[in-house]
Amino acid sequence: MLSRRPSPSSRRTVALLLALAVLSVSTGTTTGAAASRGSAPDAPTHLTVGDRERPLAVEGPPQFGWWPQDSDGNEIQTAYQLRVLRADGAEQWDSGKVRSAEQQYVAYAGPALASGTAYRWTVRTWDRAGRVSPWAPPATFETGLTDQDWEGAAWIRRLSTEPDDYTLARKEVAIPRGRVVRARAYVSAYHQYRLYLNGAEVDDGPAFSYPGEGYYQATDVTQQLQAGRHLAIGVLYHWYGGGQGRPAANDHRGMLLKLVVEYADGRRQVVVSDGSWRVRRASHFETGAPRRNSDAGDYTERIDARQEPVGWDKPGYDDSVVPWVAATVAAPTEMPRLTGQEPRLVKTVKRPVSVRRFADGTVVADFGVVVPARPVIRFAHGVSGRVVDIQTSYNLTPDGHASTGRTDTQGSDLTMRYTQRAGRQRVEANLHWGWRYLEIKAPGEVLGAGDIAAIVEHTDVDREARFVSSDRTLNEVWELLRRSALYSVQHQFVDTPTREKGQFLGDAVDISYATMAALGERDATQKAIREFLHSQDRYWSTGNDLGRYNAVYPNGDGKRDIPDYSEMFVNWVWRYWLETGDTALVRQAYPYLRNTADYVTRHIPATGPTAGLVTNLSGGSGPYQYGIVDWPAAGRFGYDMDTAARTTINVQGYDVLRRTADLAAALGRPAAEISAYGVPAERLRDAINAKLRRSDGVYIDGLYADGRQSTHAGQHSTSYAIAFRVAPAADFPQLAEYLAGLGMKQGPMTAHWLLQALADAGRADAVLTRLTDPDDLGWANVLARGGTFLWEQWNPVNDESYSHGWGAQAAVDVLGTILGVTLAAPGAARLSVTVPDIDLEFAQGTVPTQRGPVTVEWRRRPAGGVRAEVELPVNVTATVSLPAPGNLRYDADGPGHARYLGHKNGRAHYEVGSGATTFTVRYDR
């Protein structure tokens, strides 16, 4: 039998490394420790509120963030001072000098802020020697609107019962003479809108939410207004019923708008949506279009350009005649409580990499990779009434046409139809979907690459990771991971941008891991976490339901859950806290996490054949009753779903209890409350190790209801046991050998945990193999088979997706295991940089942490060891671990003030501070 002793916590590991610093035998030298420390800090940079620069709709007390700057190395922030100023320059709040190292999510604590108002703010910091920086150049933020701040704006609509409702709304107003200094448009609509000012699109946004949980967007339109001229305000809104990722919202359709214009002389003009607006059907979107599929519920687009009311969004248009009618004003109680939405959509025009023309005039454009995009086509010689059929697809037929095969289209109707008007024109789809190839049948003229485009849509990110290595396949895998993560978030996290455009909890967790680590994304994750908290309030707040979350939210099919998705939520909040250090959102989520912990413990019987184990965890239905394990079913690789106490569910249950206890401690909760979750976690871990292992220590898939062990020992069971720190650390090597010998026997949904387990067991070599093996299932195999976006499973069939982001979670493993950068304290206050001992010549990259970019480069030396460079932001420290077999020693140079901690298990350990530190091998002569 293998040892059952529990693995040490990360805190004990760090403590051990620090203790090694007292060893009397040195195996390395450091320089740079005596560098001059005479300069004061520079002014802070990257000023943010709620993790955004210049936000326009801040909800609640602002949460300030900044990056301290200092030309000295090994520097920290010991204090800060914040000042908030009103638009006239008067002081709103001065924090005074606050002794703290906090630099992110620092809460405003001054007098109440006015709604819908712009403020400026600045910050300065003190270093470890007490020297103060200059004030940062002022940044701005604007407060959002409460439900009482809409100044008479009303929800308006066109009376309609159409299931696919496209409506135009317009109003003209005069903009008085004078200098416009600030103009903001606040808009909400169900389900989506586009805002036009004098014919130019200036904003678009969604509101895929339930009544009481809606959103509005705030947009700066100052540059679009011309004083002394008429302004035409146009809105196209689109309501299309319930579907994956959007509720029908009680059939609420319509729009809400408030436009505020402020002038240099103090005048203020407000325009609101009300009964004076004119509305009509957007008749160029034909009625009766078929749905793309039964999942997302999007409709195909049939556009007749002859029916478009040309000029409707420009000044001087006559809206006094039928079919224009006065807008209907909705009851004010229909849509209570709107929240300012900060995640914004980025739209990038992408041109095809090649265009093929067929003898009949058909054109097929290849965009090189799968994109979530809206097709755009420009015609120079349109003929009134000519119908142009458009087919998109993920793959081509053998003769080069866009395939209409079931898997190549995800079982969806990926067509679009356009009826031309005479002359020059441009057609642009309204909704995005996923595709790579665009076929235009009989366009009636020669089209080139300049006439065809895709408007690619994804959430905005501004600080992406960078990674490159000596392995070309690994570099291509990294790009696949990065792109798949980015393209899996539009208005929300999505299962796939084509078939199921809904925010599934499991998908959101996996993708968010990648977007936070590799893209520096925060807003979409914050929004999604809050939405799933709403789902518990709406559907899972009483009786045995308490503590669960909806499997998809928001959604059109109401209440449904998946048990292991509910368990995953707690780990997601933990990961978010580790990435950001944001205790405010953790504090908001904590009562819900406690409910989830109680949900787990309710299913642990005290007696009987499965005593002490989570048994038949309530929830789910059909193929995922009591837990989904992996999905699609092929990704389970034979996992024994007949077990009542499943190992994966139990390990995740342990993680729920452990992380709830950890977050309770982070919030300063009473010791008894922390123990209420920590102690059951330990008992559950012990029960798992006692009952869910074979005699050789490998974890089986679970116990049957009568207490018998399953004879199947799937890769999931053992990888989870290591990755979630259930397995004893002493057993990691043998267990990892078992895992590595199986190859890839987990689906993309859970494959990250296999890589995490291998890394935790010291098998970075096996992680590299799994990432780069083109022959076994996995990421490199997707590339080898022509994939450009990760797949729903390793071998998609039927309607399964060729554009599924959950496998992108492995981006965390590239940065953490291959580059070597992992988080060791919330908000990246402390990091671990572990250079792996693997068959890779070099790796280099930058990780966008909460406290700034971290750059690492390492290169293997022919005679052993590595040359490594580590550059950290101010106010960050890191433990650096380098391969050091035998008597190999390192010299450390640079302002990071490297401190030698000791040598253990063939590795040299150092602690470094901010600035660049270089480690070079010092060979014995």
Does residue 2 register a pLDDT over 70? Answer: no
DSSP state for residue 819 in the 8-state scheme: I
Q: 453 has which bridge partners?
A: 376
Please enumerate in sequence order all residues whose Cβ is within 8 A of that of 177, keeping only pairs 6 or more positions apart, or say none. Answer: 227, 228
- Partner residues linked to 93 by β-bridges: 84
Amino acid at 119: Y
Q: Using CA atoms, how far apart are residues 433 and 490, in angstroms rounded to an integer?
A: 11
Q: What is the mean pLDDT of residues 94-101?
A: 99
Query: Which residues on neighbouring strands pair with residue 725, listed in sequence order?
Result: none
Q: What is the mean pLDDT of the chain?
A: 95
CATH topology of domain 156-288+298-340: Jelly Rolls (2.60.120)
Total Cβ atoms within 10 A of residue 789: 26
pLDDT value at 32 more than 80: no
Separation of first and last alpha carbons in the chain = 46
CA distance 258 to 260: 6
Residues β-bridged to residue 893: 918
Q: What is the mean pLDDT of residues 765-785?
A: 99
Task: Return the CATH fold of 47-142.
Answer: Immunoglobulin-like (2.60.40)
More confident residue, 250 or 753: 753
Residues 603-619: tens digit of each pLDDT: 999 999 999 999 999 99
Phi-psi sector, 547: left (phi>0), alpha (psi -120 to 50), beta: left
Q: Residue 249: its pLDDT value, please? A: 82
pTM: 0.95
Q: What is the pLDDT of residue 17?
A: 34
Q: Say how far residue 647 (Cα) sits from the centre of its chain.
A: 28
Q: Which two tokens stand for residue 572?
A: 């997601």
- Res 297: pLDDT: 86
User: Does residue 24 have a pLDDT over 70?
Assistant: no
Give the number of C-alpha atoms closer than 13 A to the C-alpha of residue 859, restricted to the C-beta side.
6
Interval 290-326: pLDDT, tens: 999 988 889 999 999 999 999 999 999 999 999 999 9
Q: Do 156-288+298-340 and 15-30+828-922 fall under one CATH topology?
A: no
d(CA 886, CA 760): 23
Query: pLDDT grade, residue 37 (50/70/90)?
Result: low
- Give the mean model confidence (pLDDT) for residues 764-792: 99
- Other residues' Cβ atoms within 10 Å of the Cβ of residue 360: 7
Does residue 200 carry a pLDDT above 80? yes
- 478-515 per-position pLDDT tens digit: 999 999 999 999 999 999 999 999 999 999 999 999 99
Q: Which residues contact 745 (CB under 8 A, 6 or more apart)?
A: 637, 714, 715, 716
pLDDT > 90 fraction of the chain, expressed in percent and rounded: 92
Q: What is the pLDDT of residue 336?
A: 77
Contact present, 195 and 234 (Cβ < 8 Å): yes
Q: What is the CATH number of domain 15-30+828-922?
A: 2.60.420.10
Q: Provide the 8-state DSSP code for 6.
A: P
Q: Is the pLDDT of residue 34 over 90?
A: no
CB 474 within 8 A of CB 768: yes
Domain ranges in the chain are 15-30+828-922, 47-142, 156-288+298-340, 345-459
Split at pLDDT 50, 70, 90, the class of 401 is very high
Q: Is the pLDDT of residue 227 over 80?
A: yes
Residue 300 DSSP symbol: P
Task: Give the tokens for residue 53.
Answer: 């620069």
Kindly report the number of other CB atoms within 10 A of residue 313's CB atom. Answer: 22
Q: Give residue 642's pLDDT.
A: 98
The domain made up of 345-459 is a member of CATH 2.60.120.10 = no
